[in-house]
Amino acid sequence: MQPLIWESRPDGLRAPALVCAFTGWNDAGDAASAAVQFMGSSLGATRFARIDPEEFFDFQATRPRVAFAEGRTREVEWPSVDVFAARVPRAPRDLVLLQGPEPSMRWRTFTGLVVELAEALGTQMVVSLGALLADVPHSRPVHVTGLASDEALVDRVGMTGSDYEGPTGIVGVLQAACQEAGIPAASLWASVPHYVAAAPNPKAALALVRKVEGLVGVSVDAQELESAAAEYERQVSLAVQSDPEVQAFVERLEQAAADEEPDLRPQDLPSGDVLAREFQRFLRQRGPGGGPAGGGPAGTGPAGGGR
């Protein structure tokens, strides 16, 4: 059996961008996987392909699950990487979303399959998402770094470039595979506070969604994620305030973050024309009635929980 299993062929995708996230080492605070899951749900994405796990997963490390089907029969649910299509009629392109656990082995073969998928769909850009633990405070805007095969992709969303060297995950290997295949590729990384590493971080997920929007030109109605991010910050702040030692530590992180932020000069701010253009694009894509264009019921998108 071929590892890349096509359940259907999504014909007519317009200049698609492939957005990828993997749970595990690349996904601090579940931020990257949650970002892709949210985009899929918001845009009404539907699954059309998957990558069979047999060749790529160590099932002692990424174990299958046993569940009851229709309350009667026990079934084994194997880990898999799922691929979804999201059509966004009022945007300049459609999206392909890929999400699943980070594979355990044969990374070059695995990323070759993803490149094969991207080429078969005529993908014009691959965007991979990740999140890493860092000495950052939860109360500040999420710091997002990025690298790309084309420096113009980094400049487009005003990210801080990454000069990271060291161990990498599947995201880094996929980035290299896309570059070798000549597919424009970018990798976005959100910094997650290490002192709340165990908690899902919707604030970091929201930051990644916003960066993807600017990069691929597709707007997502993120009101639900914005509310979750605000509640996350409120709950973490309450927990921090209950421990004077932790509070003092967070205050030091906040001061360090403030010291590192450069003063904004007028030329650093977006022009009125840019702001108006982005706002009009958002309104067009939301469509009549204020709902997200191309949207669908929640739950139709992907499911899911270094560089």
User: What confidence tens digit (pLDDT) does each residue in 100-116 have?
Assistant: 999 999 999 999 999 99
pLDDT at 257: 86
Read off the pLDDT of residues 149-206 as tens digits, 9 standing for 90 and up.
Answer: 877 776 775 666 667 788 889 999 999 999 999 999 999 999 999 998 888 999 999 9
* Percent of the chain's residues with pLDDT above 70: 82
More confident: 242 or 227:
227
pLDDT of residue 199: 87
Helices (H), 129-271: 151-156, 170-181, 202-216, 223-241, 244-260
Mean pLDDT of 22-27: 94
Q: State pLDDT tens for residues 248-271.
A: 999 999 998 887 764 433 343 333
Could you tell me which of 94, 99, 81 has the C-alpha nearest to residue 44?
94
Q: Which has the higher per-residue pLDDT, 165 or 46?
A: 46
Given a cut of 50, whether residue 87 has pLDDT beyond it is: yes
How far, in Å, CA of 281 to CA of 218, rounded?
9
Question: Global pTM?
Answer: 0.82
CA-to-CA distance for 210 and 204, rounded, in angstroms? 10
- The tokens for 102 are 């980070």
Q: pLDDT at position 161, please?
A: 62
What's residue 293's pLDDT?
35
**Interval 61-90 mean pLDDT:** 89
Average pLDDT over residues 229-243: 92
For the chain, the average pLDDT equals 84
Lowest mean pLDDT among 12-26, 140-154, 278-292: 278-292
Q: Provide the pLDDT for residue 292.
A: 37
Q: Are 173 and 6 in contact (CB under 8 A)?
A: no
pLDDT at 146: 85
Q: If you average pLDDT over residues 217-230, what whole number do you get?
A: 94
Q: Which domains does the chain have, with CATH numbers?
A: 4-262 (3.40.50.10900)
Taking only the tens place, the pLDDT of each residue in 294-305 is 333 333 334 333
pLDDT of 166 reads 83
Task: Write down the pLDDT at residue 152.
Answer: 74
pLDDT bracket for residue 274 (50, 70, 90): very low
According to the model, what pLDDT value does residue 233 have? 94
For range 286-293, the mean pLDDT: 44
The CB density around residue 226, as the number of other CB atoms within 10 Å, is 15
Question: Tell me, what's the pLDDT at 1?
Answer: 66
- Report the pLDDT value the prediction gives residue 307, as an integer from 0 to 100: 63
Between 240 and 22, the higher pLDDT residue: 22
Q: How much is the pLDDT for 246?
A: 86
pLDDT for residue 291 is more than 50: no
Which is more confident, 307 or 36?
Answer: 36
**Chain centre distance of CA 117:** 18
Distance CA 28, CA 117 (A): 26
Contact, 307 vs 132, CB < 8 A?
yes
Residues whose CB is less than 8 angstroms from the CB of residue 4 and which lie 6 or more positions away in sequence, other chains included: 49, 51, 52, 113, 116, 117
**pLDDT at res. 157:** 59
Are 300 and 46 in contact by the 8 Å Cβ rule? The answer is: yes
- Tokens at 128, concatenated: 């991979």
